[in-house]
Amino acid sequence: MPYFDTASAAPLHPVARQALQAALDEGWADPARLYREGRRARLLLDAAREAAAEAVGCRADELVFTPSGTHAVHAGVAGALAGRRRVGGHLVVSAVEHSSVLHAAEAHAAAGGTVTEVPVDRFGAVSPVEYASSLSSTTALACLQSANHEVGTVQPVAEVAGLCAEAGVPLLVDAAQSLGWGPVEGPWSVLTASAHKWGGPPGVGLLAVRKGVRFAPQGPADERESGRSPGFGNLPAVVAAAASLRAVRAEADAEAARLRVLVDRIRRRVARLVPDVEVVGHADRRLPHLVTFSCLYVDGETLLHELDRAGWSVSSGSSCTSSTLTPSHVLRAMGVLSEGNVRVSLPRGTTAEEVNGFLEVLPRAVAGVRAELGVPDAVPSVPPVAESMEVDALGLRCPQPVIELARAIVSVPVGGTVTVLSDDEVARLDIPAWCAMRGHTYLGETPHGDAVAYRVRRAV
Amino acid sequence: MPYFDTASAAPLHPVARQALQAALDEGWADPARLYREGRRARLLLDAAREAAAEAVGCRADELVFTPSGTHAVHAGVAGALAGRRRVGGHLVVSAVEHSSVLHAAEAHAAAGGTVTEVPVDRFGAVSPVEYASSLSSTTALACLQSANHEVGTVQPVAEVAGLCAEAGVPLLVDAAQSLGWGPVEGPWSVLTASAHKWGGPPGVGLLAVRKGVRFAPQGPADERESGRSPGFGNLPAVVAAAASLRAVRAEADAEAARLRVLVDRIRRRVARLVPDVEVVGHADRRLPHLVTFSCLYVDGETLLHELDRAGWSVSSGSSCTSSTLTPSHVLRAMGVLSEGNVRVSLPRGTTAEEVNGFLEVLPRAVAGVRAELGVPDAVPSVPPVAESMEVDALGLRCPQPVIELARAIVSVPVGGTVTVLSDDEVARLDIPAWCAMRGHTYLGETPHGDAVAYRVRRAV
């Protein structure tokens, strides 16, 4: 059964499994102890650190192991901010960082710091010049992901790292999605990653802090891992993480080239096979294995269930699939459609047959969901009935407000306006996105009681 | 080769290994996802939580998994303190808590809080009445371990929990050393534990917070584990931890009875076979598998090396085996000898033959170290040469100052005094402890330049 959500978690790589087995026998003791079991554990830990540091492109004594990528980010952000407290309390992040970075930024703001979110373009990328312009004399730290976890867009990290270095600001790079594919280029200062994203076991993150970067670990003291990651280490998992990183790197170039072709095929075919679809993220500057698209007039959760029933496991940034019922902050920052959103991230070894099977199932699944929602195949061409009209979509949830808008727009002439009243938060993202897709003019929003009135001018 | 340091880390229990294997296949996906791999992971996680909660004696929704016992303690202390910030900033801990608790207390003090350390008796136990008297109207949290990790003494947790409940103060119990042997009795509010102490894998801690306890998780937000433990969970390890806890509990009573006999044997035989030894900790109110003793005139690190060469892996609280060159804070708080300290903690399944082998090797190892240090088998009985004398032990490290004192004491008559000048921090603990062991009178210390003068009156 094909699993197409490797950006969320990857099954254990065979090399990781082997290494884990061996390390369960040899590496269960405390590496700080002086007896033979402790010395053996210490040797394994040192070797794992050397291997991981080589893959990251840093010195072994610059790298520590944490219990997860999230722990690495939290510890990295807090330590780097505290290390430069005298410089100031300003933190710069991109608007499309992983939630672990944004939550660390929120905690910083709650503690009295200031945060600037650098916006992204429609593909999800920051502009290096715009990023650099957000740095100030009080900026303690800047954060930028190497590649986006939801749409796969690769950020201009080397350029941004260079500009940060010129400004004397350390750059923390969250390399969770890309480290399995290759090292991060450029003069970064702090780097974080997560082993279970590259086929290593869960329970291991990496935190690299370059020599010379001011860094003051926060929280209660602990002598392990250079004082940067408390708790008894998970040595068997650390050994497995390092071994699998080395293994996936050895095959990364060949596998990236192979998956890139499959993803290109999905990008092209989805746009052709599914009506009213928007493929998002950058077509070229992207991770090799990841593609995201959004389907108009589709309920994301229902679509995921349909695909799951047909045997395909994928992810979504739609609001209906989130516990908070808000759409993905990444799609929102890009200003692209979030309804009916599907993220496909191919595991290593995915075959062309599996991809073809998905492309066969997907259009049927989308059509099925639309039929259930009562979306006609094509909105009938009718004579306009009024210069302007108001659609009451109060109480309706995504994707209904957009469906109502699409039905209404043909009832006004070109140049006429439709006003949609909606209390669904997602409409704020999806109505403008629908206008951009359809070539209509989005006129803006005004408050309407507890709801919002969105105005659209028919342009075609 | 016998490994006698299970209080530090235990080899993986066979049940843990089996469960880990199975969960690596079934539990690698994100349990928050809606597709089949995610649902399977969620089922495993829910079942593990039920099993662990049953062993702890709490509701499943009161328990979360953390990456280590240390993480559980740090999160538990910080969350409970913040939850009762309005009550005040006073924290009570025993003087013999695990370093993770004491480091959390240091962090609290550094942030402006106040901390009271409740002293212990010569066996390492707190007095419930004394503990309760340290609580005040501004006490936000009290912490007490269930049993001590260095000397095995069991604390009167149920009594203290009752007194704390009467005072309206939540009690956090660090149950790391005891949870494999049985649940913690009494009305505790927060409980922490560590799976690798009971034969579970590393990478798993438990944090239980009773309903009704005010608790405000600190650090960046994260929706996983009820917001109390951030990061992608280590599900295979969690499954293995829960399965092995259930397994060790099933055999706990029988194994405890068996190991208790072996430890009693070590306690008796060590005192008989090794001259000048002090067995520390409580003889009865103790963990079944752990015993600690200190050997006069012995360098702890050298003794550990000798035992390791002979095939026995044990631990020590001597200053020379610590990276900070200070003796164990537990031995210090008990006021017992720290030099030549050895902690023996028997793994499940330890045989009488292994224990006998250790008891054969130990006296030879101690005698060998003493011979190397030039300690005579017995200090010769010589006529006193002066009413009082001064011993210059400046620059000498443990155990040399005590060896010099033992040599000098016979040179003064009963009633005469010896003054030892020492700049070794450990002398402050070991000279009074030596006096108590030998029946001499410790008169106190006075500053002497950068060093300290310790005065002893010969009494026998």
Model confidence at B429: pLDDT above 80:
yes
Select the residue of A30, A67, A196 nearest B67 (Cβ to Cβ): A67
Model confidence at A140: pLDDT above 90:
yes
Q: Please give the Cα distance from A425 to B292 (Å, whole number).
A: 63
Model confidence at B378: pLDDT above 70:
no
Hey, are the CB atoms on A104 and B220 less than 8 Å from each other?
yes
State mean pLDDT over A236-242: 97
The answer to whether residues B140 and B211 belong to one domain is: yes
Select the residue of B30, B36, B221 nearest A8 (Cβ to Cβ): B30
What tens digit of pLDDT does each residue of B268-280 get? 999 999 999 999 9
The answer to whether residues B295 and B362 belong to one domain is: yes
Residue of A nearest to B26 (CA): A11
Cis peptide before B399 (omega within 30 of 0): yes
Pairing of strands A171-174, A190-194: parallel
Closest CA–CA distance from residue A77 to any residue of chain B (Å): 10
Hey, are the CB atoms on A74 and B220 less than 8 Å from each other?
yes
Closest CA–CA distance from residue A365 to any residue of chain B (Å): 15
At residue B263, what is the residue type? V
At residue A285, what is the residue type? R
Q: Please give the Cα distance from A141 to A395 (Å, whole number).
A: 43
Q: Which of A228, A249, A270 is the last residue of a domain?
A: A249
Residue A382 lies in a domain: no
Residue A142's DSSP bridge partners are A92, A171
Residues of B in Cβ contact (< 8 Å) with A36:
1, 308, 313
The answer to whether residues B314 and B438 belong to one domain is: no
Residues of A in Cβ contact (< 8 Å) with B323:
32, 223
State mean pLDDT over A353-380: 89
Pairing of strands A341-345, A290-295: antiparallel
Residue B366 lies in a domain: yes
> Phi, psi at residue B166, to the nearest 5°?
-60, -40
User: Please, what is the Cα angle at B210 between B205 and B212, to 5 degrees?
Assistant: 145
Pairing of strands B388-392, B417-422: parallel
State mean pLDDT over A47-55: 98
The answer to whether residues A66 and A187 belong to one domain is: yes
The answer to whether residues B274 and B214 belong to one domain is: no
**Distance in angstroms between the alpha carbons of the first and the last residue of chain B:** 44
Token pair, residue A113, equals 């710091």
Closest CA–CA distance from residue A279 to any residue of chain B (Å): 22
Pairing of strands B277-280, B290-295: antiparallel
Model confidence at A407: pLDDT above 70:
yes
Of the residues B58, B143, B295, B320, only one is catalytic, namely B320
3-state SS track over chain A? CCECECCCCCCCCHHHHHHHHHHHHHCCCCCCCCCHHHHHHHHHHHHHHHHHHHHHCCCHHHEEEECCHHHHHHHHHHHHHHHCCCCCCEEEEECCCCHHHHHHHHHHHHCCCEEEEECCCCCCCCCHHHHHHCCCCCEEEEEEECECCCCCEECCHHHHHHHHHHHCCCEEEECCCCCCCCCCCCCCCEEEEEHHHCCCCCCCEEEEECCCCCCCCCCCCCCCHHHCCCCCCCHHHHHHHHHHHHHHHHCHHHHHHHHHHHHHHHHHHHHHHCCCEEEECCCCCECCCEEEEEECCCCHHHHHHHHHHHCCECECCCHHHCCCCCCCHHHHHHCCCCCCEEEEECCCCCCHHHHHHHHHHHHHHHHHHHHHHCCCCCCCCCCCCCCEEEEECCCCCCCHHHHHHHHHHCCCCCCCEEEEEECCCCHHHHHHHHHHHHCCEEEEEEEECCEEEEEEECCC
Residue B214 lies in a domain: yes
Q: Chain B window 105-144: which residues touch A at a Cβ cutoff of 8 Å?
A: 106-107
Q: What pLDDT, on a 0 to 100 scale, did the predictor assign at position A379?
A: 65
Q: Residue B441 — very low, low, confident or very high, per pLDDT cuts 50/70/90?
A: very high
The answer to whether residues B180 and B193 belong to one domain is: yes
> Are the C-beta atoms of A150 and A328 separated by less than 8 Å?
yes
Residues of B in Cβ contact (< 8 Å) with A113:
none
Pairing of strands B341-345, B290-295: antiparallel
Residue A77's DSSP bridge partners are none
Residues of A in Cβ contact (< 8 Å) with B74:
219-220, 230
What tens digit of pLDDT does each residue of B27-61 get? 999 999 989 999 999 999 999 999 999 999 999 99
What tens digit of pLDDT does each residue of B161-175 get? 999 999 999 999 999
Residues of B in Cβ contact (< 8 Å) with A33:
5, 8, 313, 315
Which has the higher per-residue pLDDT, B398 or B245?
A: B245
Number of residues written out for chain B: 460
Residues of A in Cβ contact (< 8 Å) with B232:
9, 68-70, 194, 196, 202
Q: What pLDDT, on a 0 to 100 scale, did the predictor assign at position B186?
A: 97
Which residues, at least 6 apart from B326, have a Cβ–Cβ distance to it below 8 Å? B319, B425, B426
Chain B contact for A47 (CB, 8 A cutoff): no
Residue with the two structure tokens 């006021």 = B335
Hey, are the CB atoms on B237 and A237 less than 8 Å from each other?
yes
Closest CA–CA distance from residue A262 to any residue of chain B (Å): 22
**Measured in whole angstroms, how far is the alpha carbon of residue B401 from the centre of its chain?**
27
Closest CA–CA distance from residue A317 to any residue of chain B (Å): 12
Residues of B in Cβ contact (< 8 Å) with A234:
67-68, 201-203, 234, 237
Residues of A in Cβ contact (< 8 Å) with B219:
74, 107, 219
Model confidence at B218: pLDDT above 70:
yes
Chain B contact for A385 (CB, 8 A cutoff): no
Residue B381 lies in a domain: no
Residue of B nearest to A199 (CA): B28
State mean pLDDT over A177-201: 97
Cis peptide before A399 (omega within 30 of 0): yes
Evaluate whether ipTM surpasses 0.90.
yes
State mean pLDDT over A146-167: 98
Q: Please give the Cα distance from B20 to B10 (Å, whole number).
A: 16
What tens digit of pLDDT does each residue of A304-341 get? 999 999 999 999 988 877 777 788 999 999 999 999 99
Q: What pLDDT, on a 0 to 100 scale, did the predictor assign at position A168?
A: 97
Residue of A nearest to B317 (CA): A33
User: Please, what is the Cα angle at B38 between B32 and B43, to 5 degrees?
Assistant: 90
Which residues, at least 6 apart from A152, have a Cβ–Cβ distance to it below 8 Å? A177, A281, A282, A286, A287, A289, A290, A291, A292, A345
Hey, are the CB atoms on B231 and A17 less than 8 Å from each other?
no
Residue B340 lies in a domain: yes
Q: Which of A249, A283, A306 is the last residue of a domain?
A: A249
Residue A456's DSSP bridge partners are A418, A442
Residue A143's DSSP bridge partners are A93, A172
Mean confidence (pLDDT) of chain B: 95
Chain B contact for A74 (CB, 8 A cutoff): yes
The answer to whether residues B235 and B289 belong to one domain is: no
Residue B400 lies in a domain: yes
Residue of B nearest to A102 (CA): B220
State mean pLDDT over A365-372: 94
Long-range (24+ apart) CB contacts under 8 A made by A325-330 are: A325/A425, A326/A425, A326/A426, A327/A398, A327/A425, A327/A426, A327/A429, A327/A430, A328/A150, A329/A95, A329/A96, A329/A99, A329/A102, A330/A96, A330/A124, A330/A148, A330/A149, A330/A150, A330/A151
Q: Which of A230, A249, A268 is the last residue of a domain?
A: A249
Select the residue of A203, A219, A235 nearest B234 (Cβ to Cβ): A203
Residue of B nearest to A321 (CA): B34
Q: What angle separates helix A14-26 from helix A36-56, to the nearest 10 degrees?
A: 150
Select the residue of A74, A201, A313 nearest B230 (Cβ to Cβ): A74
The answer to whether residues B19 and B152 belong to one domain is: yes
What tens digit of pLDDT does each residue of B82-135 get? 999 999 999 999 999 999 999 999 999 999 999 999 999 999 999 999 999 999
Q: What pLDDT, on a 0 to 100 scale, did the predictor assign at position B459?
A: 94
Chain A contact for B30 (CB, 8 A cutoff): yes
Q: Find, among B41, B45, B25, B24, the residue nearest to B33 by Cα.
A: B41
- CA dist list (Å): B143 to A424, B56, B146, B172: 47, 17, 10, 5
The answer to whether residues A213 and A258 belong to one domain is: no
Chain B contact for A5 (CB, 8 A cutoff): yes
Tell me how many domains chain A contains: 3
Model confidence at B326: pLDDT above 90:
no
Q: Please give the Cα distance from B145 to B176 (Å, whole number).
A: 8
Chain B contact for A309 (CB, 8 A cutoff): no
What's the number of CA atoms in the CB half-sphere (13 Å) around residue A397?
A: 11
Which CATH number characterizes residue A287's domain? 3.90.1150.10
The answer to whether residues B330 and B278 belong to one domain is: yes
Q: Which of B5, B25, B28 to mutate to test the interface with A (most CBs of A within 10 A)?
A: B28
Q: Respond yes or no: is residue B143 known to be catalytic.
A: no
Q: From its phi and psi, is residue A388 left (phi > 0), alpha (psi between -120 and 50) or beta?
A: beta
Hey, are the CB atoms on A68 and B232 less than 8 Å from each other?
yes
Residue B243 lies in a domain: yes
Q: What pLDDT, on a 0 to 100 scale, did the predictor assign at position B384?
A: 83
Q: Chain A window 219-248: which residues touch B at a Cβ cutoff of 8 Å?
A: 219-223, 230-237
What's the number of CA atoms in the CB half-sphere (13 Å) around residue B361?
A: 19
The answer to whether residues A212 and A73 belong to one domain is: yes
- Going B367 to B368 to B369 to B371, the CA torsion angle's sign is positive
Residue B34 lies in a domain: yes
Q: What domain range is A323 assigned to? A: 252-373
The answer to whether residues B323 and B442 belong to one domain is: no
Residues of B in Cβ contact (< 8 Å) with A1:
36
Which residues, at least 6 apart from A11, have a Cβ–Cβ distance to it below 8 Å? A3, A199, A347, B28
What's the number of CA atoms in the CB half-sphere (13 Å) around residue A157?
A: 28
Q: What pLDDT, on a 0 to 100 scale, did the predictor assign at position A101?
A: 98
- CA dist list (Å): B76 to B127, B149, B206, B237, B458: 24, 19, 10, 21, 49
Which CATH number characterizes residue A25's domain? 3.40.640.10
**Measured in whole angstroms, how far is the alpha carbon of residue B165 from the centre of its chain?**
25
Edge-to-edge strands, sheet with A451-457: A388-392, A417-422, A451-457, A441-448
Q: Which of B18, B33, B93, B321 to mutate to test the interface with A (most CBs of A within 10 A)?
A: B33
Residues of A in Cβ contact (< 8 Å) with B28:
9-12, 196, 202
Range of lowest pLDDT (A184-188, A408-412, B40-44): A408-412
Residue with the two structure tokens 């007194």 = B163
Chain B contact for A320 (CB, 8 A cutoff): no
Which CATH number characterizes residue A410's domain? 3.30.110.40
Hey, are the CB atoms on B202 and A234 less than 8 Å from each other?
yes
Hey, are the CB atoms on A202 and B232 less than 8 Å from each other?
yes
Q: Please give the Cα distance from B342 to B4 (Å, whole number).
A: 11
Closest CA–CA distance from residue A105 to any residue of chain B (Å): 8
Token pair, residue A293, equals 């698209």
Hey, are the CB atoms on B237 and A202 less than 8 Å from each other?
yes
Residue with the two structure tokens 């970064």 = A188
Mean confidence (pLDDT) of chain A: 95
Q: Find, among A359, A162, A221, A9, the residue nearest to B224 by Cα.
A: A9
Q: Chain A window 76-105: which residues touch B at a Cβ cutoff of 8 Å?
A: 99-100, 103-104
Residues of B in Cβ contact (< 8 Å) with A71:
67, 230-231
Q: Residue B221 — very low, low, confident or very high, per pLDDT cuts 50/70/90?
A: very high
Q: Chain B window 246-265: which residues touch A at a Cβ cutoff of 8 Å?
A: none
Residue with the two structure tokens 């292994």 = B354
Q: Residue B379 — very low, low, confident or very high, per pLDDT cuts 50/70/90?
A: low
- CA dist list (Å): B450 to A183, B422, B443: 52, 9, 20
Q: What pLDDT, on a 0 to 100 scale, did the predictor assign at position A325?
A: 74
> Phi, psi at residue A292, to the nearest 5°?
-130, 140
Model confidence at B376: pLDDT above 90:
no
